[in-house]
Amino acid sequence: MNRMPAWADAVLVPLFSILLAALISALVILAIGEDPVEAFSLMVDGALMRSSGWGYTLYYATNFIFTGLCVAVAFHARMFNIGGEGQAMIGGLGVALACLYIPWPHWTIALIGATFSAALFGAAWAFIPAYLQAKRGSHIVITTIMFNFIASAVLNYMLVNVLRPPRAMDPATGPFPEATHLPTFQDMFATADNPLFRGSPANVTFFIAVLACIGFWFLIWRTRLGYEIRAFGHSETAAKYAGISPVRIIVVAMLISGGLAGLMALNTTMGEAERLVMNATEGAGFIGIAVALMGRSHPLGVFLAALLFGFLYQGGAELALWTSIPRELITVIQALVIMFTGALDNMVRMPLEKLFLLFGRGKRT
Amino acid sequence: MTFFAKTLGTVAALALSAGAALADPALIYDLGGKFDKSFNEAAFNGAEKFVADTGGSYRDIEIQSEAQREQALRRFAENGFNPIVTTGFAIASIMGEVAKDYPDTKFVNVDGWLPEVPENVLLINFQEHQGSYLVGMMAAMASESGKVGFIGGMDIPLIRHFGCGYAQGAKAVNPDIEIIANMTGTTPTAWNDPVKGSELANAQISQGADVIYAAAGGTGVGVLQTAADEGILSIGVDSNQNHLHPGKVLTSMLKRVDVAVYEAMKAGEGLETGKFMTLGLAEDGVGYALDDNNAPLVSDDMKMAVDAARQQIIDGGLNVVAYYDNDSCPVLDF
């Protein structure tokens, strides 16, 4: 711990990881005969230099904040919830049912209602694996990933057989009523002379994600439950000795985790598509794992990591639009960032620690 | 909103007039990806034919996420591409919305359905059940075990539509025939999972199927491979897949997405829009493939029977029930 100052651990390690990933990506782009500098400037230009680009970056980031927090809360209780994808799908079902079958008078009330519904459905989906882990010892990694497939099948059944409007080919619900449409950034910030965020999907859900970050911080570091979760995560036996019930912590942490994953559906389903489509989650549940790892399970870190992945997604779309770099390679670039920040953490950390040790010793003598 | 729509319209018009001299068409593939040896690849082939024949050029994108559908449509429209051709039903509803903001751009979608078609949108649909009926007949005639198989991609109405036509064709030849139908999955990965396709084909073979029709995009590659390895016949879909395993693929149900894309791109800004276009047997939009690779497999009797049925369907004497008509299939349960 004391080998490296905290700021270096939080800032330098991720920074070097990203730089390394960028370097290797550049080599890959060079290898297929494209210009990496041009590719990078296209990404920055498309994702950060135009307000509509920001609109997409923040839209993706909103998804990743929710799923990142979902994974992070489970991490604090030393559980690996890789079922964010399925929990978000079922959360989407909750959003759709709330929006379609309850006649909301105004979007603000609809948003509150749908938020509860999404969290409830997501949490309910996480409850079963949580119960099985707590009471039966079925490993949470196995059960949550299996539940992703079950969620997908449930959603498919509901969309194809129950919610699909007649004659439509797309396995999707009909459009949500007008009163449930959430204001986008364009509605909120664009003025007559300054059409900001034109056509981009970022919407009011982003602020819910920011609120979720703050709430997460408060829960984990400022409440008794958060303390119990962390204590359980550090040592189950010590937590038991202190009178903390493992069953309760596992179930509660997973319920919060599933609820956060479910909230992601607000953004894609209610905010963007304004109907529930089959593919609403698009792997954000899995990206959430990388986001939580990179963000060190801290809400600020998760927020920044989610922004980075939002940038990669939106920048990747720009690359796909205006260059002939194949989409598989764009996935490779995204995967490189995940690999360096998530899996190869120690590769950067250990040399850095050595550097700091050397430097520190040098100063003393 | 109205003001915004106006501003958008002006911007779009400006962008259009700026690039009017070089209004290239654009092509947006569905999530399955460009090289799926099937549906999207047929669209790609149509676009390449357009380049070869006219010397023109086009820009295309393989989208990676749902939100990119709207993004790609808008970015192409803003940059003066015209017409913008899209494949797959999933993009249709968002295209209907976007099209209203760019009245001078023509939008084309293959497979989609909209309750109302905007003025500048053309929706191209294929009568897949008619083509599937014909290959179903051929499957029943080629089968010796009295059991034929169907392997669909993702379990959605469109694929049930394929399966339903196939089952009707098979039953028309042999009322006692057994049809073993399986879907690969319930997620979009079902379109590109050749390993699972291969497993399903093996399972159907062990149940006695000796002709298997794969309507599963890239997954079908695995079905055809396994069928060829196990010495039974298979039927390809969308593109002509007879060449993949010469002498082992009975035929392919052609869905001429390539022709639709080619014609749309060639028509350019003069494209007639604001309507549905339905391409069936009569328009050669669907059909069965016959070439050197499968000629030895298709007997004269088979060809005569199928061609007679084809003519009957075109004349209206034979009605193949569409799955969509009442969201169920009269001869097959899914």
Q: What is the 3-state secondary structure (H, E, C) of B98-119?
A: HHHHCCCCCEEEECCCCCCCCC
**CB of A223 less than 8 A from some CB of B:** no
Do B267 and B181 fall into the same domain? no
Shared domain check, B235 and B316: yes
Same domain as B265, residue B225: no
Verify that B82 and B227 share a domain, yes or no: no
B237 within 8 A of B139, measured Cβ to Cβ: no
What is the per-residue pLDDT for B66? Answer: 81
Q: What angle do CA A128, A134, A138 make, to 5 degrees?
A: 70
According to the model, what pLDDT value does residue B14 have? 43
B147 in any annotated domain: yes
Calpha distance B260→B274 (Å, rounded): 16
Whether residue B92 and residue A170 make contact (CB cut-off 8 A), yes or no, is yes
How many residue pairs bridge chain A and chain B with CB atoms within 8 Å of each other? 100
Exposed, middle or buried: residue B43 (CB in 10 Å: 0-12, 13-18, 19+)? buried
Interchain contact A279–B (C-beta under 8 A): yes
Q: Where are the domains of chain A?
A: 61-325
Domain presence at residue B288: no
Decide if B331 is inside a domain.
Answer: no
Count CA within 13 A, CB hemisphere, residue A308: 27
Q: Do residue B104 and residue B209 come from a single domain?
A: no
* Residue B7 pLDDT exceeds 70: no
Q: For residues B141, B143, B148 and B151, what is the CA-based torsion angle, rounded to 10 degrees?
A: -90
Q: Are A213 and A292 in contact (CB under 8 A)?
A: no
Average pLDDT over residues B117-133: 94
Which of B67, B155, B327 minimises the CB distance to A272? B67
Q: Which of B59, B65, B89 lies closest to A313 in CB terms?
A: B65
> Could you tell me the two tokens for B298?
């298709």
Tell me how far apart the alpha carbons of residues A346 and A333 are, in angstroms, rounded to a whole number. Answer: 20
Please give the residue range of the domain that contains residue B105. 2-126+258-279
pLDDT given for residue B10 in this prediction: 47
Residue B257 to residue B265: CA distance in whole angstroms: 12
Interface test with A, best of B61, B64, B86, B109 (most A CBs within 10 A): B64
Please check whether residue A100 is in contact with residue A91, taking contact to mean a CB–CB distance below 8 angstroms.
no
CA nearest neighbour of A296 among A217, A203, A182, A350:
A217
What is the CA A235 to chain-centroid distance, rounded?
Answer: 27
Among candidates B4, B94, B113 on the partner chain, residue whose Cβ is nearest the Cβ of A167: B113
Q: What is the CA radius of gyration of chain B?
A: 21
Same domain, B163 and B306: yes
State CA B182 to chain mean position distance: 19
Count of domains in chain B?
A: 2
For residues B266 and B212, state if they share a domain. Answer: no
Q: Edge to edge, what strands does the sheet with B59-62 contain?
A: B59-62, B26-29, B84-87, B107-110, B121-126, B275-279
The predicted complex's ipTM stands at 0.73
- DSSP string of A248-298, one letter each residue: HHHHHHHHHHHHHHHHHHIIIIIIIISS-BTTSSTTHHHHHHHHHHHTTT-
Q: Are residues B14 and B49 in the same domain?
A: yes
Q: Tokens 């050595």 sit at which residue?
A: A354
CA dist B1 and A25 (Å) reads 42
One domain for residues B27 and B84? yes
Is B162 within a domain?
yes
Question: What are the residues facing A203 on neighbouring strands?
Answer: A184
**How far is the C-alpha of B279 from the C-alpha of B125, rounded, in Å?**
6
Which whole number is the average pLDDT over B222-243?
A: 94
Q: What gap in Å lies between CA A252 and CA A4, rounded to an integer?
A: 34
Q: What is the DSSP letter of A179?
A: G
pLDDT score of B315 more than 90? yes
Residue B285 lies in a domain: no
Give the CATH number, domain containing residue B212: 3.40.50.2300
Evaluate whether residue B294 is within a structural domain: no
CB contact under 8 A, A192 and B3: yes
| Each residue's pLDDT expressed in tens, for chain A with a length of 365 residues | 456 777 777 788 888 888 898 899 899 889 988 889 998 999 999 899 888 899 999 999 999 999 999 999 999 999 999 999 999 999 999 999 999 999 999 999 999 999 999 999 999 999 999 999 999 999 999 999 999 999 998 998 898 888 988 777 678 898 899 999 999 998 888 888 888 888 789 999 999 999 999 999 999 999 999 999 999 999 999 999 999 999 999 999 999 999 999 999 999 999 988 999 888 888 899 999 989 988 889 999 999 999 999 998 899 888 888 888 887 887 888 788 888 877 777 788 888 888 888 877 655 54
Identify whether residues B190 and B249 lie together within a single domain.
Answer: yes
Q: Is the peptide bond before B194 cis (omega within 30 degrees of 0)?
A: no
Write the residue in A186, A275, A317 that is nearest to B71 by C-beta: A317
Whether residue B178 sits in one domain with residue B310: yes
pLDDT, position A337: 82
Asked whether A317 and A46 are in contact (CB, 8 A), the reply is yes
State whether residue A4 sits within 8 Å of chain B by CB: no
Task: Decide if B334 is inside a domain.
Answer: no
Work out the burial of residue B112: count CB atoms within 10 Å of its CB; fewer than 13 is exposed, 13-18 middle, 19 or more buried: buried
The pTM score is 0.82
| pLDDT of B71 above 60 | yes
Looking at this protein, which amino acid is placed at residue B2? T
With beta carbons less than 8 A apart as the criterion, state whether B24 and B55 touch: no
pLDDT in tens, B137-160: 999 999 999 999 999 998 888 899
In this structure, the answer to whether residues B44 and B137 fall within a common structural domain is: no
A317 near B CB under 8 A = yes
- Residues in A closer than 8 angstroms to B327, CB to CB, are 166
pLDDT of residue A365: 44
Is A175 an interface residue toward B (CB < 8 Å)?
yes
Residue pair A115/A266 in contact by the 8 Å Cβ criterion: yes
> In sequence order, what are the beta bridge partners of B214?
B151
The band of B26, judged by pLDDT with boundaries at 50, 70 and 90, is very high
